[in-house]
A and B are shown apart, each in its own frame.
Chain A
Amino acid sequence: MSRVKAKIVRGAIGSERVAYITTAGGVSAEVILSATQTGSNHVLVAEVARDNNNVLIELPQETSSGDWRVWINKNQILPE
């Protein structure tokens, strides 16, 4: 799993978090997920593919606009 930079805020119930991830297209993608899938500034994601400076990631949950996979800039991925 990889850690992707995100703004994390508390969700509707104790175990829920809302994450905002910046996509390669500059859009802020909102994802509602479990607290255990986030840190204070990141979301745990799976890397699926790479293309030059971008990485295709699969999110733990679907974004509010319906995407499971989004392209992000590789500098959004935090070092291990």
Chain B
Amino acid sequence: MILTDREIQVFLANRQIIIDPKPIAIRYSSTSVDLTLAKQFRVWDFNQIDKTRGEVIEPGPKFKYAEFRDKYTKKKILTNKGYVLAPNAFILAWTHEKIVLLNHSKIAARVEGKSSLARLGLAVHVTAPTIHAGFEGHLQLELCNHGLFSIRLTPGMPICQLIFEMTLGTPDKGYSGKFLRQKK
């Protein structure tokens, strides 16, 4: 079941869901709440990438994404002038709001794009929208401009929406240490 705006606010009031800072009234729709763009983002460092033409990423057991990201991207800060995302450009960004979904709250969520931006060609994630029960942190966004025109991104702009869903039951980790399953 998807939470409506009323239930989202009840869950926020009871601290079963935490969104910090709390969204203002205009950020809600009937079944979602908008989150905004943080100032920090990372762009790909093409000087570095050009040095390794032909390198193949092997996302197996030894792959270290954070090291890969730190090597091939550069940290940027979004000013009030904004950042122009060119067609076909792809950057890593975050939501300004921090999200906490407590294990025992029986809540999971999905981050999705906003239709107003989608129509321009802006995607906010690459096929991984699920926010699992127990999540804590700022949501990382994979912003990609699939459109024909450049799009100016500004700090604090509504960038994505969160849809909350109730889970059927509590996951194993919600019982951690109490009813531990024994193997064999």
A-contact 0/1 string along B55-91, CB 8 Å cutoff: 0000111111111011001010000000000000000
Q: Quick check: B138 and A11 within 8 Å, CB to CB?
A: no
Residues of B within 8 A of A65 (CB): 59-63
Return the chain B residue nearest A71 by Cβ. Answer: B183
Taking A46-B173, A48-B173, A51-B183 as contacts, is the C-beta distance between A16 and B63 under 8 angstroms? Answer: no
Q: Give chain B nearest CB distance to A72 CB in angstroms.
A: 14
Residues of A within 8 A of B134 (CB): 46, 60
Residues of A within 8 A of B182 (CB): 49-51
How many B residues touch A, CB cutoff 8 Å? 37
How many A residues touch B, CB cutoff 8 Å? 34
Q: Give chain A nearest CB distance to B32 CB in angstroms.
A: 23
Contact of A64 among B59, B94, B180 (CB under 8 A): B59
Q: Quick check: B181 and A48 within 8 Å, CB to CB?
A: yes
Return the chain A residue nearest B93 by Cβ. Answer: A13
A56 to B184: give the CA distance in the assembly, Å: 13
Contact residues of B between 37 and 71, Cβ < 8 Å to A: 38, 40, 42, 59-67, 69-70
Query: Is residue B177 contacting chain A, with contact meaning CB distance below 8 A?
Result: yes
Query: Is residue B105 contacting chain A, with contact meaning CB distance below 8 A?
Result: no
Contact of B98 among A15, A27, A45, A64 (CB under 8 A): A15
Interface contacts beyond A29-B61, A30-B65: sample of 10 additional A-B pairs, CB < 8 Å, sorted by A: A1-B176, A12-B75, A12-B92, A27-B62, A30-B64, A46-B103, A50-B180, A61-B135, A65-B62, A66-B59
Binding site for B on A (CB under 8 A): 1-2, 9, 11-16, 18, 27, 29-30, 32-34, 36-37, 45-52, 56, 58, 60-61, 64-66, 68
